[in-house]
Amino acid sequence: MALSADKERIYELGNINEVPVKGSATIYEGAAVGMTSGYARGLNAGDDFVGFAERKADNSADSTDGAINCRVISRGLAKVTLSGVLVTDIGKPVYASDDETFTLTQSTNSYVGVVYRYVTTDTCIIAFRAHGTNDAPIAAGASLTAAQILVGNASNLAAARAVSGDVTINNSGAVAIGSGKVLSAMISSSQIAWTHLAASTLSSIVSVATSVLTSHTSSSTH
């Protein structure tokens, strides 16, 4: 119902969130936080990343899911240890395999953000944001498995996918139709010109037509 008077509304800072903690879990301050079945824990590979823990959330003594909440920073800039990071890696996607291990390798890991600034050996600043899916948006020049393409997924994010079905694509961008995939129902009438038929096919057609005409002529004479 539309307002008919002033209403005091509660607002929150845009980069702060509170998420219910999984039973028996402890989330340490500074940990990457992941969600599993709707509850938070120190991130495991494959979890949806929801931010970094602002302070420790200890639910280890209670097996009840959601008994306490964890306050997280859901987006911003953070310094992390990232083994092998180079000054040329700025803009590349960053993933996490646990609450403190970050990598440039997607695999089954959770997407957390991108390299924002190189600091020193194995150390960088990442631009992170809470993510509702582990399919990372991939920028031009970033890592992408050979012969895969970017497709908008159910969350309206660019995700790497292999082409499947009636066609395939290789890593040079060439698309090929699979054997036996073109069916009669896919071809409009009068669309295949005689010039597109192989000589052997034309010869077969002529042979069949000649046989039919000969048979018809023979039967007509009796």
pTM (predicted TM-score)? 0.62
Q: 54 vs 186, which has greater pLDDT?
A: 54
Query: Helix, strand, or coil here: 75?
Result: strand
Query: Helix, strand, or coil here: 202?
Result: helix
Segment among 99-103, 133-137, 150-154 with least mean pLDDT = 133-137
Per-residue pLDDT, 213? 72
The answer to whether 131 touches 49, Cβ cutoff 8 Å, is: yes
Q: Flag whether pLDDT at 155 surpasses 80.
A: no
Per-residue model confidence as pLDDT tens digits over 3-45: 999 888 887 778 999 999 999 999 999 999 999 999 999 999 9
Q: Flag whether pLDDT at 220 surpasses 90.
A: no
Per-residue pLDDT, 114? 92
Name 53's Cβ contacts closer than 8 Å, sequence gap at least 6.
27, 28, 29, 30, 31, 33, 70, 71, 72
Classify the C-alpha dihedral 21-22-25-31 as positive or negative: negative
Q: Which residues pair with 79 in a beta bridge?
A: 125
Per-residue pLDDT, 221? 58
Per-residue pLDDT, 82? 97
**85-97 burial by CB neighbour count: b if 16+ within 10 A, else e?**
beeebeebbbbbb
Q: Flag whether pLDDT at 162 surpasses 70.
A: yes
Per-residue model confidence as pLDDT tens digits over 41-91: 999 999 999 999 999 999 999 999 999 999 999 999 999 999 999 999 999
Q: Which residues pair with 94 in a beta bridge?
A: 113
Question: Domain extents for the chain?
Answer: 16-74, 76-129, 148-177
Per-residue model confidence as pLDDT tens digits over 118-150: 999 999 999 999 865 445 555 555 567 788 888
